[in-house]
Chain A
Amino acid sequence: MKTYRDFISDIVDDTRLYEELCQAVPFSEQAQLRDWFATRGYQLHSADAEVIFVNQEAVTGSDEQVNY
């Protein structure tokens, strides 16, 4: 089973999965979010799923500038 690290690695090469996630949010429950990832082959630890769930809008946002 793949994990969240694999999800990020996979969307580096193919954006479609990321676009699917953007279409799927917002999730009303953490379990829904974990199911979404699980049906696509990614198993999330509950603590990591909670971080993504709480920040789901930011996770799928692209408006914020990142300055290095």
Chain B
Amino acid sequence: MTLLEATNRERWPTPGRLTLSALDSLTFGEVRLTAAHQPLRDWLNQRVPAFCDRMPATLRDSALLAIQAHLTRYRACHVAAFYDKYYPPAWTVIPFLADSRGGVDPSQVYNALGAQAAAMFLHLLDDRLTDGDIPVDNLFLQLRTEVWYEFRDALGRLAGSDEEKRTIESLVNLYFSRIHRPPDCPDLSAYEEVFRGQSATSLIAPLLIAARAGYDTGQRRLVRSMYEEFCLAWRVLDDLRDAPADAAEDQATAVFHLLPPEGREIWHDVSMDPADGERRDALVGVLRSTAYPAAAHAIHTHLTTAARAADELDLAGLGGQYRALALPVEENMP
């Protein structure tokens, strides 16, 4: 029994901080892990204590408590089930690729999963660091350094050829070029292109394991496109959930780009001041009437594109997971 089952919680509850019920209702569907993947998920959940083991002994417990405080709102059950909170295709892509053609050494699958766990953790940490949500102190700087080494060490064990090593450097460079001084995004297409770059570190392990499994260059390009489509669906959903707060901070997210010109004007003008009821009501109206259906359509398109790519790569199980995520979106599409 997992921790979340033990506490009788939904694995993927909807967020509680939004006030727009129409936005709350849009969520991804549940993905049931296969019996073979459940132990891998449990292994992933041990990565967070393992990251702390890389820290100097005197900092290990403090590092774990800092992760708990800033990433899981102190909940012990959530830090112990850290990777349960990610949509499974973020990492099941690795065992699906490895198992599709056989012949991949299990130690390489674990190297890939270790790299992916570190990439996912770093993505979250960098996001919170950039937003100023966590302190830039010695503890977090050392933690980020150690997890980064964990990421690079695992990739180093996974990469064989010079071409694979160049792939790593190229994608790491792309990641930093998109999180440090990202370019302006005049439209949704540019916004999505920037986000593809921000997902680049979590692409590396799937691409390397695809190479190990014998996928050719063209197929690996499709693997990359498939994973990016999944990430984009996730990004749009996340932006939809955060829309009221992002509007209050005038952040131009995917939802902003999905609004008509008059909706963007409201987005620019709205504030979180409770006295600003008229403009907040106007924002709710325009989000419900235009952003919600457009976002639902975009999410559905990204997930079904990912599912079709999985079909083309003979990854039926992974395609099924993308479709399971899309199910409630499809049911709620206006």
Q: Which residues of A contact B (CB under 8 A)?
A: 3-6, 8-9, 11-13, 15, 18-19, 21, 44-45, 47-48, 51-52, 55, 58-68
Contact = CB atoms under 8 A, between A and B. Distances in A.
Residue from B53, B61, B75, B238 with most neighbouring chain A CB atoms (10 Å): B61
A37 to B, nearest CB: 11
B62 A66 contact: no
Contacts of A48: 61-62, 65
Nearest to A21: B76
Given A51-B69, A68-B124, A18 B77 contact: yes
Contacts of B80: 8, 11-12, 18
A3 B222 CA distance: 45
Interface residues of B, number: 43
Contacts, number: 97
Interface in B1-57: 1-4, 6-7, 9, 13-17, 42, 45-46, 48-49, 52-53
Nearest to B241: A67
CB-based closest 7 A-B pairs: A58-B74, A15-B6, A9-B49, A62-B7, A4-B61, A55-B74, A12-B80
B60 interface: yes
Nearest to B61: A4
Interface of B: 1-4, 6-7, 9, 13-17, 42, 45-46, 48-49, 52-53, 60-62, 64-65, 68-69, 71-81, 85-86, 120, 124, 238, 241
A59 B60 CA distance: 18
Contacts of B1: 15
A66 B46 CA distance: 18
A9 B46 contact: yes
B6 to A, nearest CB: 4
Contact of B53 (A5, A12, A52, A65): A5
A62 to B, nearest CB: 4
A66 B76 contact: no
B79 A8 contact: yes
A59 B74 contact: yes
B203 to A, nearest CB: 17
Nearest to A42: B61
Contacts of B62: 45, 47-48
B78 A62 contact: yes
B15 A8 contact: no
7 contacts: A9-B46, A12-B81, A15-B3, A18-B76, A21-B76, A61-B74, A67-B241
Contacts of A59: 68, 74-76
Contacts of A18: 3, 6, 76-77, 80
B330 to A, nearest CB: 22
A21 B46 CA distance: 20
B246 to A, nearest CB: 13
A3 B60 CA distance: 9
Contacts of B17: 65
